[in-house]
Structure 1
Amino acid sequence: MMHGISLLRRLLSVADTAKALPALLAGTLAVLSAVGLIGTAAWIIASAALRPPLSTLALAITLVRACGIGRAVFRYLDRWFSHVLAFDCYEKLQRETYDRAAENIPLRAGNVREGAFLHDLLAGCETLRDFYLRTVPQPLIAGILTAMTCAALLPLSPLGAAALAAIYLLHLALPHLLLHETGLREESAAYRGALLDLTAGRDELIAAGAIPHAEEQLSRAASAFQNRRQRRSIYRDRLFCGLDILRTVLWLALIILLIPHVAEEGLTGVQFAVWVLVLEAVLAEYRSLPAASLGMTEALRAAESILPKDKMPVRTDVPDASVKTGPIAAEVPTDAPLIEAQNISFGYHPEIPILQDLSFAVRQGEHTAVIGESGAGKTTLASLLLRLWECDSGTLRYRGVPSAALSRAETRAHFGAALQGAYLFSTSIRDNFARLHEDITEERIWRALDTAQLAGVVRALPRGLDEPLGENAARLSGGQRSRLLTALALASDAPILLLDEPTAGLNAALSERLIRSVLAELDAEGRTLVVITHDLPLLDHMKQVIRL
């Protein structure tokens, strides 16, 4: 319960009060205008046979016109202000979604789980947009209308006022209590997982002749998901129908409760007619409440996925994570290593460790190679240094600062990195540099390309730096693509250059020129190279070798 309240508070804090209040006010005035229109029209119709004074009748007709115009105007303003609010919040939530994805991806569970994770984030963002558009305003406006109606009804029928308030609360509570989506979400996740598995492995399945079996499994998952959705739709329709009947019964009951007051002359016949239609109009505003209640449940679940946690768990093996970089750095010796690993361990599965109790240090200017057999954990170590994943145990320090005291963005600011499998945009070479280094100059681009032994290739292209690369740089060879990644990393001003197999696909002479050129530039700028490699001749240029 407290967790839900905390999530709701954080959701509401996203909304700008200056945008939320006009939307709420316009929606309330639109509903009051609609009820006023019904009530005034009922008064005119019921009073017509009694021949009221012309001035009174003229005033009522004017009020009908005012309420009719007001309903249209305030409804338009309600739509305008509520959409401004919703899309302002949507923009903020999209940023939170991006931050959450950047913070958590890649996932150890692999691409399929990443797809499900991104689906939950994007669907949750859409849900939260509707939270500000439909989920919050309708209950608040209906609550204001209920409070005003109960206050007017209380002197006539306390029981009727209590029943009206109870029905309002039931419209909000019953959908939340009776309709559960946990099973539906599990079925949806199972179906998406089966679909992604089939898509990712279709070539292997075709080769093995196992497509019919895979399609049968996918069909079962789809049927289970569809059946669950249909059952939930039936339950939802039955609940909404039951609430419609309940509103009708309450309306009839309130009419019956007011009849004695007409007989006792506590109400005139005209007033009774006004009450009959006003109560019907008030109860009509409850129709949107069940959907809003369900939207609240979905919004809280989406908020749990998207919004940052109030408190993160505190690790006992490192200093308090709330301490900032500056104060710590002031206490660190000036000769602290750029990177220091102390007994770090990591595994994608708890029972299969990839790295275990690894310790090393990289100091400024101490160019370091990481070598080892395939599967020894070289690329995994690079991912740990960049904090794409966190170590299972042990401590990483950057310039003496524990990684727990740094955000991931602060950690990655230490590196210019080029990892295998990194994505390149299909636009131009210039655009790829500009996306990674916003204020980069053309001179700096050519210098990075020249150091990476790619400048001649780019100059030979028809459009030079503006030549489109194709999807994920498909128009470049493997070696050219690798050198472009190296150039992109070199263009950074970070103190550490982290390269993963930079000489892959290059002949011996080109590999030698590339490494000599990179090291010459790094030495001139006081930067340090950490390279993952199978290229043993490259080790002659290194001051330190870490063997996994």
Structure 2
Amino acid sequence: MMRLLFSLFAARAGGLALALALSCLTLAAGVALFGVSGWFLTGASLATSAMAFNLFGPSSMVRGFSFLRIVSRYFERLAGHATTFKILSDIRVRIFSRLIPLVPLKAAAHRTGDFVARLTADVEALDMMFLQVVAPIATAVLGALGLGLFLWIVLPDALPVVLIGFALTTLFLPLLIALSGQRTGAATVRTAADLRVAVLDGIDGHADLVALGAVDGARHAVDEAVASVRKARLRQSWRVAFGPAFVVLGTGATAIATLYVGLPVLEQGRVTGPVLVGALLAVMAVFEVSGPILRGAGKLGAASAAARRVQSLVDMPPAIRDPAQPIAVPDAGDITFEQVGFTYGRDQAVLAGLDLTIRDGEHIAIIGESGSGKSTLLGLLLRLVDVESGGIGMGGVDIRAVRQADLHAHIALLSQDAPVFIGTIRDNLKIADPHAADAALWGVLEKARLDDFVRSLPQGLDTWLGESGETLSAGQARRLCLARTLLSPAKVLLLDEPTAGLDRPTEAEFLADLLAVTTGRTLILATHAALPKGAVDRVYRLEEGALTLEG
């Protein structure tokens, strides 16, 4: 966990240092406020009967420290939470960058639910590590040094018992809670991940579960996962609940010990009553930092287990690597598949000795049954995975000799599950070209025959789209994805079942428009749909890992 956190904290060192400094200032102001208040109230009380006491200085100090504590606490929370959110963003970006090459062809030994759990729940388990563990412990150490210096000056006899009590409450007890909660914390993270896997598997496979009459079994699996999560979290909650109790016990015991040591000193006249009371309240105030540490200690087991799961993804070596000395992608040229072979698992051959040449600017279609390898063929061209035998070239250059980013800039993919993202129409289009002007956006909308619809909307390009484009019909959502693909400057367009889920009339219109607006670009269309006669230059059928020319 520390290896992961250190790498993240180092990138945000400035913000964390500011939050830590403000935390120390807040603690110092609180300790000073309590100490001065005790000295002031006791001195003022004694002054009414037997001695004179200057009320103006201490009262001004109380107001000053109170104001300082409020201001420093506010900015400490502001700086600490802002930096924590940035760190969480850094973690998610780091994880997502690892997931990108793993998810498309399911090349990693993880299910979608497990990926989601690592990207959400595991990251959330780390969200308070700085605010509840790292910063409070650092503040506690610095606070103990400051308090020790103060007691060494005004009440040295109490210094040993105060430091022992503070260390037991702030460091030793949290350590015991953290060690005892390792197994429970790991169980909490594991069961939460299992629940997400069960739920997402049920959602993804709902149609199959209904068809096979296995809905009750899936529901039972979710119920068991929920029960396991509840049991693990109850155990963790017990440990978290011990934190406030230990703070009260530790503070009270240390205060009693300080008073026990201080009263003889008072009797001997080596310290005055107001100073003793001020020192006693200052000692109690410094325990303020113990609360977050003890609460964080109860969650440390879960955070440690989550960090291990996150780190396992971060450390996972990419399956596809860029060459040490990449070659530029040719601006134009034929695409060639030469004796390409690819196998899923150990014995599920998908492509075997496949040969194909696509001329620059040519339109071809690849048809075949589901599972025949059409999507795999497109994935190999995008280099989501590498061929196991043979090679793929573009303009005479093997695609393994170019940078992946350059290859992906040259090729655009419109898949059957291309998403419409939450945001505006403009946001969705600009994913393909962040610098595109409005004229270009309207141009691709016109090519996709969606411009009239968008113009009819009150906010036009700035119209907000719901979750997964729920405010659009299936045909409109598909045309928006087509417009986004057309906005890309890519010279090669790959379309993987772009009409899946559309009715026949909408499908026919979509294909007719699609083939008309892709003139001048190389087009590879993988589809089940019936193509209009003469729509493409050639049609191939993919069967048993090989291509045969149709008609």
- TM-score norm. by structure 2 comes to 0.74
SS at match of 1:177: helix
Change (3 A) 1:350 1:462: same
Say whether the 8 Å CA contact 1:7–1:303 is kept in structure 2: yes
Tell me which residue corresponds to 2:71: 73
Residue by residue, what CA displacement relative to the aligned partner does 1:21-41 show, whole Å, maximum 9, x if unpaired? 443333322221221122122
User: How far apart are the structure 1 equivalents of 2:339 and 2:407?
Assistant: 17
1:42 offset after TM fit, Å? 2.2
Counterpart of 2:190 in structure 1 is 186
Q: Which residue of 2 aligns with 1:463?
A: 456
**Considering only aligned residues, what root-mean-square deviation do their CA atoms show, in Å?**
4.8
Structure 2 equivalent of residue 144 of structure 1:
142
Confirm or deny that 1:231 pairs with 2:214: no
Q: Structure 1: how far apart are the matches of 2:311 and 2:102?
A: 13
Take 2:510 and 2:288, find their aligned partners in 1: how far apart are those partners?
76
Which residue of 1 is the match for residue 496 of structure 2? Answer: 500
2:537 is matched with which residue: 536, 541, 547? 541
Cα deviation, residue 288, structure 1 = 1.7
Amino acid of the structure 1 residue aligned with 2:227: S
- Verify: 1:416 aligned to 2:412, yes or no: yes
Q: Is residue 171–residue 289 contact of structure 1 (8 Å, CA) maintained in 2? A: no
Q: 1:204 to 1:352 in 2, by over 3 A?
A: closer
Where does structure 1 lack aligned partners over 5 or more consecutive residues?
none
Per-residue deviation, 1:53: 4.5
Structure 2: gaps of 5 or more residues = none
Inter-partner Cα distance in structure 2 for 1:427 and 1:310? 29
- Distance (Å, rounded) in 2 between the aligned partners of 1:170 and 1:357: 66
518 and 151 in structure 1: CA distance in 2 versus 1, 3 angstrom threshold:
same
Decide which moves more: 507-516 or 439-448: 507-516
| 1:526-547 deviation digits (Å, cap 9, x = unpaired) | x423332456866972499873
User: Could you give the per-residue CA deviations for residues 494-532 of structure 1, whole angstroms, max 9, x where no partner exists?
Assistant: 12111234688579997996687467x22xxxx423332
Note closer, same or farther for the CA distance 1:81–1:125 as it changes in structure 2 (3 Å cut): same
Instruction: Give the Cα separation in 2 of the matches to 1:120 and 1:309.
Output: 9
In 2, Cα distance between the equivalents of 1:173 and 1:404? 52
Task: Specify the alignment match of 2:522 in structure 1.
Answer: 528
In the alignment, what sits opposite 1:390?
A: 385
Residue 169 of structure 1: aligned partner: 171
2:284 is aligned, of 258, 280, 287, to 280
Deviations 1:204-263 (A, max 9, x none): 656666555544443333223222222332343346535643454344344445556556
Question: Which moves more between the two structures, 338-347 or 465-474?
Answer: 465-474
Q: Of 61, 64, 69, which residue of structure 1 is paired with 2:62?
A: 64
State the distance in 2 between where 1:449 and 1:244 align: 66
Deviations along 1:251-308, one digit per CA (max 9) or x if unpaired, are: 4344445556556665555544333222222224312212234556655665666689
Q: Sort the Cα spacing of 1:243 and 1:545 in 2 relative to 1 into closer, same or farther, 3 A.
A: same
**8 Å contact from structure 1 (residues 428, 466) kept in 2:** no
State the partner residue of 2:370: 374
The question of whether the paired residues in 2 share the 8 Å contact of 1:168 and 1:286 is answered with yes
Q: Which residue in the other structure is 1:156 paired with?
A: 157
Distance 1:261 1:344 in 2: 88
Counterpart amino acid of residue 382 in structure 1: L
The residue aligned with 1:8 is 5
Q: Which moved more, 1:432-441 or 1:62-71?
A: 432-441
1:59 partner SS:
helix
Q: Write the distance in 1 (CA, Å) between the matches of 2:436 and 2:315.
A: 37
Equivalent residues in 2 for 1:86-97, closer than 5 Å: 86-89=84-87, 96=94
Q: Which moved more, 1:241-250 or 1:509-518?
A: 509-518
Give distance in 2, aligned partners of 1:426 and 1:24. 37
Separation (CA, whole Å) in 1 of partners of 2:70 and 2:40:
21
Find the counterpart in structure 1 of residue 38 from structure 2: 42
